């Protein structure tokens, strides 16, 4: 276990925290109301693991299980769908609150707005969410996927009517290709949760869409514990999800925020490296970014999220594939009395990191620094189920590591 994780306690110089209002409670409430207008909407479960908490020496452990989201097995659709709605609202001079699902699919809206082509790059879940939302809302989607993507993930997107391919590029270069094509296409729109200078509005809307998941989790936690979490573990690729979750809870619990722990794949640990550098500037990780955590294989931080994270994260963790494999297996076959959770390669790494911190002597200093003990009430996000069933079975059933 000694070589499986690295971490950096956050000592970064704070900024003015100007991006935090993006994830304000009223903004997230708007996104939640939009998602609830879909006939397919239901809350995803918040699963309590009391036996696991006892085993790990914690007060409680809760898993927000996104494998049930809109029948797509992952959370990403929340961001893609809401950003599309915000874009259509802006183009037609409306507030998004006036565009619930039944209005968005109406003939009157089609006459006012027409049809756009939404471009994106994805390792799987985001593109599938964009394709699903485009199909439901009568729009077009073009999706580029990086080398190493499995055929299963591509077919999941193609079945939803999108134009999709796998390019001989890494994720970040696929993003650049999609942006170039969107700029050259009449009524073309780039829908990406990676922000950069000059491209921040749509990523902000995507983050707000992710806030629906965080809001659900906070409400469910209060219902079960009559309190709020002391620790929140969340994964990061470009950091949009982490920034959304942490931004929402930092706003919700501004007087007494939880401790926030962000976990990345070591092959693409741009946030960890940014934190370890200590100067507050984001770092970029290049190359092929080889990891089984396909959804986290992103080497360039979202600039909006980075501003939130450097002001509010307690610790940044860089995890090898073995950590998420541990998480997948422990959640799939928990202690007797606890319900199983199907968590995929990118979904299980926060829990894998928590389990490693609590059971490894090499993590004692981190464990003590974070105050992870019998009084800790821990909320963990599992952002996907078995989105690639063959790979999931190979890892969980057959004991393979790829």
Could you tell me the CA-to-CA distances from 292 to 46, 250, 325, 345, 366 in Å, in that order?
25, 30, 9, 6, 25
Q: Is 123 a catalytic residue?
A: yes
- Return all residues near 219 (Cβ < 8 A) that are at least 6 apart: none
Q: What phi-psi label fits residue 330: left (phi over 0), alpha (psi between -120 and 50 degrees) or beta? A: alpha
Helices 389-396 and 321-332, interaxial angle, to 10°? Answer: 90
Cα gap 137→104, rounded to integer Å: 6
Q: Which of 19, 64, 76, 259 is catalytic?
A: 76
What is the bridge-based pairing of β-strands 5-9 and 315-319? antiparallel
Using the Cα atoms of residue 345, residue 77, residue 260 and residue 233 in order, give the sign of their dihedral.
Answer: negative
Beta strand ranges found along 239-302 (DSSP E):
259-265
Using the Cα atoms of residue 134, residue 140, residue 144 and residue 148 in order, give the sign of their dihedral.
Answer: positive
Q: Which of 123, 321, 386, 388 is catalytic?
A: 123
Other C-beta atoms closer than 10 Å to the C-beta of 228 total 17
C-alpha distance across the termini of the chain, in Å: 18
Could you tell me the CA-to-CA distances from 162 to 90, 137, 276 in Å, in that order?
24, 13, 40
Q: Is 259 a catalytic residue?
A: no
Q: Which of 346, 330, 331 shows the shortest CA–CA distance to 47?
A: 331
Using the Cα atoms of residue 156, residue 123, residue 175 and residue 16 in order, give the sign of their dihedral.
Answer: positive
Catalytic positions, written as ranges: 76, 123
């Amino acid at each position: 276990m000694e070589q499986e994780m690295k971490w950096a306690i956050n000592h970064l110089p704070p900024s003015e925290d100007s991006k935090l209002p993006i994830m304000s409670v009223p903004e997230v409430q708007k996104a939640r109301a939009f998602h609830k207008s879909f006939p397919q909407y239901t809350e995803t479960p918040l699963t309590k693991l009391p036996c696991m908490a006892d085993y790990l020496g914690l007060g409680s452990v809760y898993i927000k299980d996104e494998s049930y989201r809109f029948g797509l097995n992952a959370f990403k659709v929340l961001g893609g769908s809401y950003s599309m709605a915000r874009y259509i609202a802006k183009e037609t001079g409306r507030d998004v609150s006036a565009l619930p699902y039944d209005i968005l699919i109406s003939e009157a809206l089609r006459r006012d707005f027409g049809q756009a082509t939404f471009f994106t790059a994805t390792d799987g879940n985001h593109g599938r969410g964009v394709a699903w939302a485009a199909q439901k809302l009568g729009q077009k989607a073009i999706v580029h996927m990086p080398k190493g993507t499995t055929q299963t993930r591509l077919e999941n997107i193609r079945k939803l009517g999108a134009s999709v391919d796998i390019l001989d590029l890494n994720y970040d270069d696929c993003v650049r290709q999609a942006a170039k094509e969107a700029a050259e296409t009449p009524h073309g729109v780039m829908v990406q949760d990676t922000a950069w200078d000059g491209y921040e509005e749509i990523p902000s809307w995507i983050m707000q869409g992710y806030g629906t998941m965080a809001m659900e989790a906070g409400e469910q936690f209060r219902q079960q514990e009559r309190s709020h979490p002391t620790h929140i573990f969340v994964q990061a690729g470009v950091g949009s999800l982490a920034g959304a979750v942490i931004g929402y809870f930092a706003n919700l619990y501004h007087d007494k925020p939880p401790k926030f722990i962000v976990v990345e794949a070591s092959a693409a640990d741009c946030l960890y490296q940014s934190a370890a550098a200590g100067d507050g500037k984001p770092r970029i990780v290049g190359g092929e970014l080889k990891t089984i955590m396909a959804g986290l294989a992103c080497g360039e931080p979202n600039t909006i999220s980075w501003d939130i994270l450097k002001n509010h994260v307690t610790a940044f963790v860089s995890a090898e594939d073995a950590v998420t494999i541990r998480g997948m297996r422990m959640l799939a076959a928990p202690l007797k009395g606890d319900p199983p959770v199907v968590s995929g390669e990118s979904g299980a790494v926060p829990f894998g990191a928590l389990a490693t911190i609590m059971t490894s002597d090499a993590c004692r200093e981190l464990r003590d620094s974070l105050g992870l003990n019998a009084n800790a009430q821990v909320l963990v996000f599992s952002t996907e189920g078995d989105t690639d069933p063959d790979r999931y079975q190979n890892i969980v059933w057959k004991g393979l590591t790829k």
